[in-house]
A and B are shown apart, each in its own frame.
Chain A
Amino acid sequence: MTARKKDDVTGVETTGHTWDGIEELNNPLPRWWLWTFYATIGWGIVYTILFPAWPLVNSATAGMLGWSTRDQVARHIAAVEEANAGVEAQLVAADLGAIREDDALYSYAVNAGAAVFRTNCSQCHGSGAAGAVGYPNLLDDAWLWGGTLDDIAHTVRHGVRNEDDPDARWSQMPAFGEMLDPDEIALLVAHVQGLASGGDPLAGAGGALFEANCASCHGEDGRGMREMGAPNLTDAIWLYGGDEAALTETITNARFGVMPAWGARLNEAEVRAVATYVHQLGGGEEPSAE
């Protein structure tokens, strides 16, 4: 800025900058604005030295503080786990039936159980626990292997018909296609379909076949047997479908539903939490009801 020039109209000094004959008045900014601007630049430089910032070919500068978002996530997870350690220990120590008595513990168990369920169980049993063909609905009141807290926890821990866990729930329905001829199977299908609407399990020709082949597991009353995981045939629930084709397939070739032993993958607190969650979905049974 060599020549100081005053604008004639305003009497204000100009900066000397001219665009197409238009001159810029010099209304100076406060000096501290400039210093603030410099300070932000200084701050920015220090920031990029302390924290990860400058991109390199395969990564970025790590920053002198060694801070990273992954570390932060790990710290947060560790903090949550530490915060939950007390209630988890309480969950493991408590009698399963007594969890319900403690509001805070029960609330934790149900919510933690819901998370475990979504991660590990929903693939087969559905995110709403309504099940699918071959995968039991956990909302209803029918339980193949029992619906008390202890029963559910045992099933979760050891699974069903898997080779990994000697304590797994185990049974196997024979494939009657090798023992009965198709006419007999058709007769049996019609007979079993009648049971749900109150038919006598042992009546008629179908009843004779039923008594000879089925009653040993499903009971002479057709109401099933939990020790064998044999379903109740007189209720309205069909795991593999109750129509003629599905029942013919079931009797001819049998079914072999498998569930993994989750005791190996979930810790004790998670098993108890998910058992508590499943138990309160609407079909849980009380031990005295057994």
Chain B
Amino acid sequence: MMTDSSLYAARVPIFPRRVSGRFRTLKWAIMIVTLGIYYVTPWIRWDRGPALPDQAVLVDLANRRFYFFWIEIWSHEFYFVAGLLIMAGLGLFLFTSALGRVWCGYACPQTVWTDLFLVVERWIEGDRNARLRLHEAPWSARKLRLRASKWAAWLLISVATGGAWVFYFTDAPTLLRDLLTVSAHPAAYTTIAILTATTFVFGGFMREQVCIYMCPWPRIQGAMMEEDTLTVAYRDWRGEPRGKGLRRRQAEEAQAAITRAAGPQIGGRAPAIPMPGLSGARSGAARQDGPGDCIDCNACVNVCPMGIDIRDGQQLACITCALCIDACDEVMAKIGKPRGLIGYLALSDAPREAAGGRPRGAWAHVFRPRNVLYFSLWAAIGMALVFALFIRPEIEMTVAPVRNPTFVTLSDGTIRNTYDIRLRNKHGEPRAFRLSLTSGSVLAIALEGTEDLVTEIPANAQKLQRVYVSARPGGPAAARAETALRFWAEDLASGDRAHKDSVFNGRED
């Protein structure tokens, strides 16, 4: 295959054939759900009161707020987002350890959008053979028309993709109106332009190159898989020797065995990573007389969006999209052989199956200590986050004593301390808070700028209220170095109370 000795290789175009079957249906469903969530979410409304945005999911960067339905996260509560990211990471570990690269094969945006682009490509240019012919044909009016309409359709999808993204960051209906009247913020247009370009290029032209050469996940996920992981594999003990070109295959068998043992290689058409489970199976296959179930029809290769041959074994380029399973099952049904020549398989089961035994159940592979541990960690963090969400204080108050200077002597000898009390009002309407203090000594409280002890805080805002605490001259608090005190804040609308402890500094003379 590598006939020239160049150090660089051009991309070999891939023309996946249309296929139908269980996994294709599942992938259609996942595509509809994920794309539906992506495009619809910004348009869901959620009433939070007049002062707050009514968008259900909104990342308000300017005001440092994240709204998610009934949950509102302020910037100081960003640990919720960090927790969600940790859960996403652990979830990925769990799925990879149990089911291999299911993220890559079913849910990754690169896969979903490439799938979408391929549908468009098939609608406009036809299936695999038609596209192959078109690719090789010289430029003509027809080719130009087909290419132009395909690119136009892709561009439309790309604009919609980039356009949907910005709706998460500001009020969607307003932004849509601004976008259409060319009066939106330049950042919106720039973001849309960049995401349009990446979607168009990655989904239309880069495709498998993104997975093989750009994405770090295949490397990391390769390290998370083990023999018990269920993954897409070819049952070579059943398939080999292949029906077509049997004699040639047998002659090449020795060479192929060596090739498979040679180690991992990047790229779609390179030999595969050696599999301990399968090398044992191969010796079993060698005992088999007559042709195997594989008729070498190449259906599995023709449907592969990565352009690889699953029969080479597990390989870096395989995203386990499972379309080869559908393709092979279709063929097996036609030739009257049992399905599952290509199927989900744990490599640890391969020797057992090759020897004629039954594989262990899927659950036996999934419920391994490692997966249980991943799930436990994932669930523990999830429950901790939910718990943290419910015990979030209704009133948030911080007290910062002013320490420059620690106290002020007033003309009548009164010792006064100053405190900066920060109160947050997370509600959609203004709230009034009454401040008070309790202490073992006699201390008086007063608020800067208001005669009474009530401070008004605007809706969805925080306020810094300066508070003065005074000890009368000669009293114990004035003379003592430190006196403990506790500030109280009462939400006059709800009656909720919160408190914070602090210290009063006296003269110490």
- The SS class assigned to the B binding surface is loop
> In the bound complex, what is the Cα–Cα distance between A32 and B8 (angstroms)?
9
10 A-B pairs with the lowest CB-CB distances in the bound complex, closest first: A128-B404, A235-B411, A28-B9, A130-B405, A236-B413, A10-B262, A139-B408, A142-B411, A31-B8, A31-B10
Closest Cβ of chain A to B307, distance in Å, is: 13
Known: A9-B262, A13-B5, A33-B213. A282 touches B468 (CB 8 A): yes
A280 close to B (CB within 8 Å): yes
Chain B residues with CB below 8 A from A140, complex form: 408-411, 416
Chain A residues with CB below 8 A from B259, complex form: 10-11
Q: Which of A1-46 contact B (CB under 8 A)?
A: 1, 4, 9-13, 15-16, 26-34
Closest Cβ of chain A to B416, distance in Å, is: 7
Identify 8 new A-B residue pairs, CB closer than 8 A, beyond the known A12-B2, A33-B213, A140-B411: A10-B262, A11-B255, A15-B5, A26-B7, A28-B8, A31-B10, A140-B409, A236-B409
B271 close to A (CB within 8 Å): yes
B258 close to A (CB within 8 Å): yes
Listed residue (B411, B448, B466, B473) with the most chain A CB atoms within 10 angstroms of its CB: B411
**Cβ-defined contact, B405 with A31, below 8 A:** no
> In the bound complex, what is the Cα–Cα distance between A234 and B418 (angstroms)?
25
> In the bound complex, what is the Cα–Cα distance between A282 and B259 (angstroms)?
84
Closest Cβ of chain B to A225, distance in Å, is: 15
> In the bound complex, what is the Cα–Cα distance between A1 and B258 (angstroms)?
26
A232 close to B (CB within 8 Å): yes
In this complex, the interface size class of chain B, counting residues with CB under 8 Å from chain A, is 35 or more
Chain B residues with CB below 8 A from A27, complex form: 265-267, 270
- The SS class assigned to the A binding surface is loop
Closest Cβ of chain A to B405, distance in Å, is: 4
Q: Which of A194-237 contact B (CB under 8 A)?
A: 232, 235-237
- Cβ 8 A contact of A282, one of B209, B404, B418: B418
> In the bound complex, what is the Cα–Cα distance between A232 and B410 (angstroms)?
12
**Cβ-defined contact, A127 with B404, below 8 A:** yes
Chain B residues with CB below 8 A from A283, complex form: 410
A137 close to B (CB within 8 Å): yes
B495 close to A (CB within 8 Å): no
B174 close to A (CB within 8 Å): no
> In the bound complex, what is the Cα–Cα distance between A49 and B416 (angstroms)?
62
B185 close to A (CB within 8 Å): no
Bits for B331-369, please: 1 = Cβ < 8 Å to A, else 0: 000000000000000000000000000000000000000
B36 close to A (CB within 8 Å): no
Chain B residues with CB below 8 A from A26, complex form: 2, 5, 7
> In the bound complex, what is the Cα–Cα distance between A32 and B271 (angstroms)?
22
Chain B residues with CB below 8 A from A141, complex form: 410-411
- Cβ 8 A contact of A232, one of B9, B265, B411: B411
Q: Which of A114-163 contact B (CB under 8 A)?
A: 126-128, 130, 137, 139-142
**Cβ-defined contact, A280 with B449, below 8 A:** yes
**Cβ-defined contact, A11 with B271, below 8 A:** yes
Chain A residues with CB below 8 A from B484, complex form: none
Q: Which B-chain residue is minimally distant from A33 (CB atoms)?
A: B213
